[in-house]
Amino acid sequence: MQFFRSLPLLIASLVLAPFFTSCASQQYKAVADEREADNRALREERARIKGENRDLAAEKASLEVALAEANARLLEQPERGAGQNYAELDELGVGYGMRDGRMVISIPTEISFASGRAELSAAGKRALKSVASTLKKDYPTGQFEYWIEGHTDSDPISKSKFASNRDLSLARAMAVLRSLVDDCDVPDNSCVVTGWGPHRPVASNTSAANKAKNRRVEIVVEKAGGTPIKQ
């Protein structure tokens, strides 16, 4: 008798069981979906932070390179003093200015020598005639000496007859000396020649533009006896 009284309740339970099971499954799925959404958001946030860290690291490295280049320019590049304005040299792309109390005239390789070569170009010879004119007018021989210094970038010699960058820089400095003496009537005994190779850069050799700055021949003007020029 008791069984028959419980039968409706049992039947109702059996009928409603799938409903409760479905509700539980839906609740579980909702919780799982929410957790998955949270995890996905966390993964996306982690990926974003990693990306920002990579960008910051790249920016830091770029700023460090820029700082090193700026420091090199401050230490090595000549600075123009008051009244130093040579329009003809400016037009020819020849740099000039004071460094450590000495006048420095910087002739880029691009206007004076072909890659890996030490024969002066026609443009280089024209530039040297203007340089010689400036030297004779403002820094005459007898009172001043000219240190002709060859410089290169740090790329190893590959397709050239020269054994090293120092050899190439010295050969270029000698070519400038010969042109000044033979074509411009600069006294040979007023000149000193040296080749630094890659060892005196004005910028870090980290880009094509910086390497171009380092490929140059400089004429450093000193008073006879090595006394710095005061301007």
- The ranges of the chain with pLDDT < 70 are 1-25, 28, 59, 61-84, 226-231
Q: Which two tokens stand for residue 108?
A: 């880029």
C-beta of residue 97 within 8 angstroms of C-beta of residue 79: yes
Q: Would you state the pLDDT for residue 140?
A: 94
CATH 3.20.20.70 for the 79-223 domain, yes or no: no
Whole-angstrom distance, CA of residue 123 vs CA of residue 127: 6
From the centroid of its chain, how far is CA 38? 44
What pLDDT sits at residue 50? Answer: 84
Q: What is the pLDDT of residue 73?
A: 47
Give the pLDDT score at 101.
87
pLDDT at 75: 43
User: What pLDDT score does 167 carry?
Assistant: 97
pTM of full prediction above 0.95: no
Contact 105, 131 (CB under 8 A): yes
What does the alpha-carbon distance between residue 125 and residue 152 come to, in Å, rounded to a whole number? 19
